[in-house]
């Protein structure tokens, strides 16, 4: 019965057209904001997934570095503890990373030079992002270079087509002289390939053979700067596994999951998502207050109807529930319409790529869209909160009309 009265009040004409106008404008506002929230969160999910994919091509799922100093000993004892703790890991790859200067004639580039073993090719995403030349690291005696696209541009060369090798300068850790030339070791290496993942990596990194790096830096054959752990196909090494490995290895090592290796990035994305939620909540609450104002005016207009209902036996709870349901209907209709509109827009963008990204340098030429059920649950919860707020205040006002009329008699 209360639902019937609520629907009749929604469709009925009011003595003041402003009441109808405010109510419908508020419902439209909820529709637009809900649709916008669905679209914005889905686009955010799309970019977030793309960033995660790019970073997964570059960073290992778990990284092990020494807590003190630059190098660790990747002996059998350490490797056995790692593999025993991470049975899902298909590869534990040692790497040597150091600052280096690459020079070609008058052009130079300061890079992070990363020495890797042959196993790296089968587990890392870098070899799959070669767009010029080939992925090859050579060997200790004849090293090869795989350059980031930005490094290649800085050197003004083309990998795989260079006539002369690039000179690689690495620090001499045993140098005691103030002569800068004695503080560096140099060797030649041919650039054979160029990778492109994203600018952050393309401008700073180059790859070569781990044995060559150890020789240049005067390291033991078991000395590396880090161990990188990779899961198998369809298996991701998790934060919990990284924490478990940290307990096993103790304080002598730092064990970081992919999220912890990029903590600032993931924290920034979480903050951006929170800001989106808060802004949307604020706008929806403003729309709810508009509904409250229109329903409160309706309560004042329908005082005679409320008195009549009381005369036939309706109590304060029944009268309050009518306006409570009316607020829920207004907010609910707007929310459902917004969800449908947002869903249609997202499906259309996924299928037809309606909205393009300006410029030609981005990885995609359209806005990526990924819909997640968690977002829809959140949006429905927010709409439910707005509907409750929109109906509760007028309902409380309606329950007091009884006393006002009695006092007036």
Tell me the per-residue pLDDT of 223-234, one tens digit each, with 9 for 90 and over: 999 999 998 766
- Under 8 Å between Cβ of 166 and 188: yes
* Residue 7 reports pLDDT greater than 80: no
Instruction: Identify the DSSP state of 128.
Output: G
Q: What is the bridge-based pairing of β-strands 89-104 and 107-116?
A: antiparallel
Confidence (pLDDT) at 265: 87
Buried b (16+ CB within 10 A) or exposed e, 388-404: ebbbbbbbebbbebbee
Confidence (pLDDT) at 177: 59
Confidence (pLDDT) at 409: 43
* Residue 255 reports pLDDT greater than 70: yes
Closest CA to 249 of 40, 10, 3, 73: 73
Confidence (pLDDT) at 408: 42
Region 206-212 average pLDDT: 97
* Residue 39 reports pLDDT greater than 80: yes
pLDDT > 70 fraction of the chain, expressed in percent and rounded: 86
pLDDT mean across residues, the chain = 86
Stronger pLDDT, 320 or 44, i.e. the higher one: 44
- Position of tokens 């919860």? 381
Region 350-363 average pLDDT: 78
Confidence (pLDDT) at 407: 46
The DSSP-derived string for 341-389 is HHHHHHHHHHHH--SBPSSSSSS-SB------HHHHHHHHHHHHHHHHH
Confidence (pLDDT) at 325: 83
Tokens of 206: 């180059």
- Under 8 Å between Cβ of 113 and 212: no
Given its phi and psi angles, is residue 70 left (phi above 0), alpha (psi -120 to 50 degrees) or beta? Answer: alpha
Region 6-16 average pLDDT: 54
* Residue 73 reports pLDDT greater than 90: yes
Confidence (pLDDT) at 138: 96
Q: How sure is the predictor about 404, in pLDDT bands with cuts at 50, 70 and 90? A: very low
The C-alpha atoms of residue 121 and residue 144 are separated, in whole angstroms, by 14
Residue 156: strand, helix, or coil:
coil
Q: What is the CA radius of gyration of the chain?
A: 32
φ, ψ for residue 365 (rounded to 5)? -100, 5
Residue 258: strand, helix, or coil:
helix
Stronger pLDDT, 174 or 167, i.e. the higher one: 167
Stronger pLDDT, 364 or 27, i.e. the higher one: 27
The C-alpha atoms of residue 20 and residue 154 are separated, in whole angstroms, by 65
State pLDDT tens for residues 267-281. Answer: 888 898 889 888 888
Stronger pLDDT, 66 or 179, i.e. the higher one: 66
Containing 193, the helix (H) or strand (E) segment is strand 184-195
Residues 6+ apart with CB under 8 A from 226: 63, 64, 65, 72, 94, 95, 97
Q: What is the pTM of this model?
A: 0.77
Region 122-142 average pLDDT: 94
- Under 8 Å between Cβ of 81 and 249: yes
Confidence (pLDDT) at 361: 52
Closest CA to 400 of 322, 303, 327: 303
Q: How sure is the predictor about 178, in pLDDT bands with cuts at 50, 70 and 90? A: low
Lowest mean pLDDT among 7-11, 112-116, 157-161, 339-343: 7-11
Report the Cα–Cα distance between both ends of the chain, in Å, rounded. Answer: 28
């Amino acid at each position: 019965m209360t639902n019937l009265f609520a629907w009749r009040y929604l469709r009925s004409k009011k003595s003041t057209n402003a009441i109808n106008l405010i109510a419908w404008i508020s419902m439209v506002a909820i529709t637009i904001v809900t649709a916008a929230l669905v679209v914005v969160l889905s686009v955010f999910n799309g970019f977030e997934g793309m960033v995660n994919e790019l970073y997964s091509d570059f960073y290992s799922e778990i990284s092990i570095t020494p807590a003190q100093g630059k190098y660790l000993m990747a002996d059998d004892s350490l490797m056995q503890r790692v593999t025993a703790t991470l049975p899902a890991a298909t590869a534990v790859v040692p790497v040597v990373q150091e600052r280096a200067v690459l020079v070609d004639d008058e052009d130079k580039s300061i890079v992070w030079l990363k020495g890797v073993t042959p196993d790296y090719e089968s587990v890392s995403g870098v070899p799959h992002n070669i767009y010029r030349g080939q992925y090859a690291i050579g060997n200790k005696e004849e090293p090869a270079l795989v350059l980031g696209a930005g490094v290649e541009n800085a050197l003004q060369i083309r990998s795989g087509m260079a006539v002369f090798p690039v000179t690689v300068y690495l620090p001499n850790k045993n140098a005691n002289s103030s002569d800068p030339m004695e503080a560096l070791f140099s060797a030649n290496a041919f650039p054979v390939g160029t990778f492109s993942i994203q600018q952050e990596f393309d401008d700073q990194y180059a790859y070569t053979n781990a044995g060559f790096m150890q020789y240049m830096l005067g390291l033991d054959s078991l000395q590396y700067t880090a161990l990188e752990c990779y899961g198998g196909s369809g298996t991701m090494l998790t934060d919990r596994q990284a924490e478990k490995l940290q307990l096993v290895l103790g304080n002598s090592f730092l064990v970081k999951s992919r999220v912890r290796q990029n903590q600032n990035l993931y924290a920034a994305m979480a903050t951006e998502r929170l800001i989106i939620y808060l802004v949307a909540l604020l706008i929806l609450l403003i729309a709810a207050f508009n509904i409250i104002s229109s329903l409160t005016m309706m309560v004042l207009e329908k005082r005679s109807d409320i008195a009549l209902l009381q005369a036939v036996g309706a109590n304060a709870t029944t009268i309050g529930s009518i306006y409570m349901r009316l607020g829920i209907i207004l907010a609910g209709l707007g929310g459902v319409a917004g969800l449908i509109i947002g869903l249609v827009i997202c499906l259309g963008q996924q299928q037809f790529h309606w909205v393009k990204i300006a410029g030609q340098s981005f990885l995609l030429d359209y806005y990526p869209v990924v819909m997640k059920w968690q977002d829809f649950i959140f949006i429905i919860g927010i709409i439910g909160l707005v509907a409750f707020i929109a109906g509760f205040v007028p309902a409380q006002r309606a329950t007091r009309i009884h006393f006002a009329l009695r006092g007036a008699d």
